[in-house]
């Protein structure tokens, strides 16, 4: 009987070690959110100094015909 209690306690201890604490989850969540926003902002700003029409293709000419 006592062996099952000890095994149950070990299982609970192992489970508690596998799950990160609420604080770690919060820090991880906000870290991932800030990283995604930084990547999105960087991708939005990348290449804004370049001209819009890079290849000189004018669709208006073909729409007229």
pLDDT band at 10 (very low <50, low <70, confident <90, very high): low
Q: Average pLDDT, stretch 35-56?
A: 81
Phi-psi region of 47 (alpha: psi -120 to 50; beta: other; left: phi over 0): left
* CA–CA dist 41, 34 (Å, integer): 10
Sign of torsion, CA 44 47 48 54? negative
Domains in the chain: boundaries: 1-41
> Does residue 19 carry a pLDDT above 80?
no
Q: Kindly give, in sequence order, each residue whose CB lies less than 8 Å from that of residue 20, ignoring residues fewer than 6 positions away.
A: 28
């Amino acid at each position: 009987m006592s062996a099952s209690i000890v095994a149950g306690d070990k299982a609970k201890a192992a489970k508690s070690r596998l799950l990160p604490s609420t604080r770690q989850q919060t820090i991880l969540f906000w870290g991932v959110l800030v990283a995604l926003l930084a990547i999105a902002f960087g991708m939005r700003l990348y290449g804004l100094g370049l001209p819009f029409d890079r290849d000189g293709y004018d669709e208006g000419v073909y729409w007229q015909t």
